[in-house]
Structure 1
Amino acid sequence: MRSTRFLAGADFDNLIAALDFAERTGRPLNRSVDLWWRGFDNPRLLTDDQRLRLVQQRISKWCLARGFELCWIWIRERGAASLNTHVLTHVPPENTAAFDAELIRALEHEGAIIAANAVMVKRAPGPRGKLKYLGKGMSPDDCAVRGIRHDPQGLVYGKRTGMTQNLNRAARARPRS
């Protein structure tokens, strides 16, 4: 499995492009989700990225049943104690409370929450600012070019970033009706 010490500048730029695309297409990334994976039981011994993928599948189905597509971007980083995942997602305002509750259920399906700070879900009034803050894990040179203060985020195995397909490069290149 691939490992990286830094978030790639190109990956960060791709997340910024996805955030801008979500905004332009009426799906602003208005919810912030922070996951501290050590705060969850992990009976199936899945990796954090495997658990996130399963949660994403469950939440995506829930969103579709309510008439909207899941749109989210995420960054993984290694904190002092364990891996963390930070997600910015779009939720129509009328679905916010139900989404938050469903997200907790989807996460608990992959392991009980065993720490009060395992999940933090809140409104994201400034998603660009949050994303810039999360860009701190880029190399010192990549941070300097983008005006971001560098703060090493440790060695991460597997993907550091990702997004739903409706925000990726191919989706952004397709003409929208």
Structure 2
Amino acid sequence: MMKLASKWTVLALMMMLITTAGATAQGYTPVAAAENQETVYINQMEIRDGQIYLSADPIEWYEGAAADKAFVEHEGNTGLDGAPDGYYIVNNSVQNDVYQVAPDASVEVQIYDHTGNIEDTDVQWNESIPLAQFEKDFAKKDVLDLSQFPYHITLREGKVVKIVQQFIP
């Protein structure tokens, strides 16, 4: 019975988090497109020879009217006239690019686990965190799995210099 109660507690906390994130979305501003920027799912981060590398799967990220158009083009006749949540992701490849991350790369997150407790996970727009902390937290999957979010990465001379987590409503 205790196992069941803890599952319900986790479910209730997740619903609270989703509700908080939805309410917070009112202040959402799309990530501005930038030169040398790609949108990806980060599949893995690892340290090799003292350098951080990430493996990334490029995706197409659409919002607003562009999301509605892409949704209708890719989903066909669903009876919906646009993307249900205001965004749409196209991932037609299994490509996995590996990039070295510059040691001074900046990292901005929208939703983040500060303490390891689900109830402390919150939305803060473009919160800066140290690269080393992001790499460490990326490996954790128990409270918030950072690999489930798209990221906008900016490249300079073949290295990642900026990582911005995409908020998903």
Q: What band does the TM-score fall into relative to the shorter chain?
A: under 0.3
More strand by share: 2
Larger Rg: 2
Question: Normalising by the residue count of structure 2, what TM-score does the alignment of the two structures yield?
Answer: 0.24
More helix by share: 1
Question: Normalising by the residue count of structure 1, what TM-score does the alignment of the two structures yield?
Answer: 0.23
Question: RCO higher in 1 or 2 (8 Å CA, sep ≥ 6)?
Answer: 1
